[in-house]
Amino acid sequence: MRKSAQERTGLDLLSLYLVFLRALYNLHQNNHWEAEDYGHHLLFQRIYESVKEMVDEAAEKIVGLFGKITKQDKISSNQPVSLMLRNMREQKSRKD
């Protein structure tokens, strides 16, 4: 079943939100590992753990609203944010 343009836009926006959440998770997890002060270590741990829950909630909402996340909508947590955004822009320009 083909998605309408409005559904596609909603999916794109939610996917972008998911990209940013996963980037935020990775950023704070790295800060957690590299923290020299134990207080900062615990702070970054609390932040990345709470963001992880937000990532899971966002992904579940995307699936709930739009069905199964297709291969092209999946976000790789190993990709830098700039690469993820470039890939999304390229996909959008190919569709237009």
Residue 5 pLDDT: 59
pTM score, whole prediction: 0.65
The 3 state secondary structure assigned to the chain is CCCCHHHHHHHHHHHHHHHHHHHHHHHHHHHHHHCCCHHHHHHHHHHHHHHHHHHHHHHHHHHHHHCCCCHHHCCCCCCCHHHHHHHHHHHHHHHC
Instruction: Evaluate if residue 63 carries a pLDDT over 70.
Output: yes
d(CA 28, CA 44): 6
* Domain spans, the chain: 5-85
What percentage of the chain has pLDDT greater than the value 90?
40
